[in-house]
Amino acid sequence: MTRLILGVDVGGTSTAAGAVTSDGDVIGWQSAPTRGATDPVAMMTALIAGVRKAVGYRADTIEAVGVGVPGPVDAAHGRIGEPVTHVPALAGRPLGPELRERLRLPVFVDNDVNALALGEWMFGAGKGSHSLVVLAVGTGIGAGIVIGGRVVRGVAGFGGELGHVPVNFDGPRCFCGGRGCVSVYASGRGIADAARARVAGNPHAVLVRAAADDPQGITAPLVFRAAAEGDVVAASIVDEACQAMGAMLGIIVNGLNPKVIVITGGVAQSLLSLEPKILGAAAEYTLTRALAATRIIIVPGDKRLGVRGAAALALYAERTSL
């Protein structure tokens, strides 16, 4: 009988749940809106019930549940940390124990980017490699670090907060309270904010017109599109984002020298065509032989990768003591 793990990827907008084989194949998945769910735990339970029914397996073939949640998570206790800007209803909740009681299954909860990193390490681009860093570039930038088969959590759970390492010590304030963080330049939010600041007071700017004359409607995908179409303001913002991404890669390559770096997340699709520019920038900030030994790839974000990663949390927890 096929052994199945349930993976649940909780996002700010929607939550996806799927059944995953021990080889990492997602054999069925469903999603539901996160925003608006008054009780996200009930929503997840219903979603899981739907998946169980859809995959047509008896309940006893499901061995465990892994759940990836944005933001800080106390993985040892399955408790969601605070602040959780994306899913406020989960802040401080003992999600692991709550789900365990409802589902009568082992449940493992961790940060969603740690989950993605474990998924890539077990089944994806980093399969079998000693060390791997996953950068998830979306509204914010998160990272998961796996070295020697272990997730680097740090002493207080902040290991892998690479979105908030400075790439410019003289740079502007970041929304995290820090300064010159890579997120200021290269996250979806940072790119959109920079564009809005640059067109402020100029209602005729290409970006403002592209956003239906509402500067607040300027989004990162819109900036990438305008840059590709030759808008000078958008192009300079995208150039700066690529340069900051290159510096971030320099920090990872020279600092940790992992075998594989995967760039994924919602913004990764827009970065695909910019890969030569990003890798060119990375070469400016890295020791040549360190860079030569590290493979850097861009993998567009995909809900199934999130589901697979969440399932990997359960498989990982079996091998190690959290």
- For residues 156 and 212, which CB has a smaller minimum distance to a copy of itself in the complex? 156
Q: How far is the CB of 297 from a copy of itself (least distance, A)?
A: 15
Block residue for tokens 């790119």: 191
Cα–Cα distance, 181 to 6 (Å, whole number): 35
For residues 241-263, b (16+ Cβ closer than 10 Å) or e, as one string? bbbbbbbbbbbbbeebebbbbbb
Cα–Cα distance, 9 to 306 (Å, whole number): 5
| 141-147 sheet: strands from edge to edge | 150-151, 141-147, 131-137, 260-264, 295-298
Q: What Cα–Cα distance (Å) separates residue 10 from each residue in 58, 162, 202, 236? A: 24, 20, 38, 34
- For residues 101 and 284, which CB has a smaller minimum distance to a copy of itself in the complex? 284
- For residues 55 and 279, which CB has a smaller minimum distance to a copy of itself in the complex? 279
Q: How far is the CB of 193 from a copy of itself (least distance, A)?
A: 18
- For residues 68 and 180, which CB has a smaller minimum distance to a copy of itself in the complex? 180
Whether 62 contacts 4, CB under 8 Å: yes
DSSP 180-205: SBHHHHHSHHHHHHHHHHHHTT-TTS
Q: How far is the CB of 170 from a copy of itself (least distance, A)?
A: 6
- For residues 268 and 291, which CB has a smaller minimum distance to a copy of itself in the complex? 291
Cα–Cα distance, 192 to 204 (Å, whole number): 17
- For residues 184 and 207, which CB has a smaller minimum distance to a copy of itself in the complex? 184
Whether 305 contacts 119, CB under 8 Å: yes
Largest CA distance in the chain: 64
- For residues 103 and 167, which CB has a smaller minimum distance to a copy of itself in the complex? 167
Q: How far is the CB of 300 from a copy of itself (least distance, A)?
A: 25
Beta bridge pairs of residue 166:
181
Residues that bind a copy of itself (CB under 8 A): 129-131, 143, 145, 147-148, 150, 152-162, 164-170, 176-181, 243-244, 246-247, 250-251, 253-259, 284-290, 292-294
SS3 at position 281: helix
